[in-house]
Structure 1
Amino acid sequence: MVKRLPLTRLLSVFGAERSRIEATIQSRMKTAEAADVLQDTWLKLAQRGAEGAIDDPAAFVRSVARNTALDYLRKDRRRRSIDAEIRELLFDTEDELSPERILIGREAADMLAAAIDALPDQTRRVFLMNRFEGKTHREIAAELRISDSSVYYHIRRALEHLSGMRHHLPD
């Protein structure tokens, strides 16, 4: 029979390892992001518990924290890449502001507004909350009572739709 590690023991190990984990995470990211990763690690441990035998609970907790941090960094890298693409799409800094450029910009803005309006209701709502109201994925998920992965899905869906219309924008 496999002996299970009690959840309280696993979480107490997390508490004991917290400062070490936090220092490691903060060396790779901002303090606020590190706090989010620590919280997500705690939640993963609390939700998952210890299924099966764990020989070294401290190493297990550090491994969960490391994987959570890597997931966070990957998502952040993807998001920054998409944001850079959208900025490049919307803001052409090489041209002077001439009446012609202003008109072209207004036409592009109208096309983008129409594309956003064409999104499914939930996708549009999530996208606007994130990009125009500045809400985080977690805040949106809590407000709309959906999962973080659903928020990510809707934002990605909106960005793919907007990215796909790039070649239709006026030069």
Structure 2
Amino acid sequence: MSQTQLSQVFLEHEEDLFRFLLRRIKCVFTARDMTHDLFLKISAQGETAHIQNQKAYLFRMAANLATDYLRVEQNRAHILAETNELLWGDTDGRDPERISIAREELARSERVLAQLPLLSRKIFHLNRFEGKSYPEIANELNLSPSTVEHHIRTALRQLSKVRNL
């Protein structure tokens, strides 16, 4: 079987392959993309003489693509759920000891930041609390970006010492 024969079988069953993928992944746009990806895969294949049932081969490839896609999406959803729980989880469910430790660490961090030179505090605040980039801060304060980076690095170094207590 030549590659053009396999491509021809694909073209004959393209809509069936699309509907097959759509039933599995439930997204029209992704199913269309995957159908196109399937065509690219079969076009890039070398020798295909070993394939006995061309149609079954194409549907198996489509099923494998859908399975891989769903696995990746499931992993993404799991990671997103864990991240959301860490960031926005219910604080009432945390035990008092952990809350106390976190408050102590926050107080130590505030003391360290208060001991920094005024310029370092200002640069750190602009970067971490106002979300400004190093070049934006450098522009605003008429400094070089490397100076801004030095002040941020110094502040972070001091904060990391407190965190390791």
TM-score with structure 2 setting the length: 0.51
- Give 1:15's aligned amino acid: L
Deviation at 1:64, TM superposition (A): 0.9
Give the deviation of 1:66 after TM superposition: 1.1
Aligned-pair identity in percent equals 29
Report the counterpart of residue 68 of structure 2 in structure 1: 71
Q: Distance in 1 between matches of 2:43 and 2:86?
A: 42
In 1, Cα distance between equivalents of 2:64 and 2:78: 21
CA RMSD of aligned residues (A): 2.5
Q: Which runs of 5+ in 2 are unaligned?
A: 93-98, 107-162
Structure 1 residue ranges without an equivalent (≥5): 108-167
SS state at 2:50 partner: coil
Classify the secondary structure of the residue corresponding to 2:24.
Answer: coil
Alignment CA distance shift 1:78-1:55 (3 Å):
same
Matched, 1:20 2:16: yes
Structure with higher helix content: 2
Offset of residue 50 of structure 1: 4.1
Counterpart of 2:77 in structure 1 is 80
Contact 2:6 2:54 in 1 (8 A): yes
Structure of larger gyration radius: 2
Q: Distance in 2 between matches of 1:35 and 1:50?
A: 26
Give the Cα–Cα distance (whole angstroms) in 1 for the partners of residues 20 and 50 of structure 2: 26
| Pairs aligned (count) | 96
Provide the C-alpha distance between the structure 1 equivalents of 2:43 and 2:8, rounded to a whole number of angstroms: 11
2:44 aligned with 1:47: yes
Cα distance, 1:36 vs. partner?
Answer: 2.2
Superposed CA deviations along residues 22-50 of structure 1, whole A, max 9, x for unmatched, are: 11111122111212221221121111244
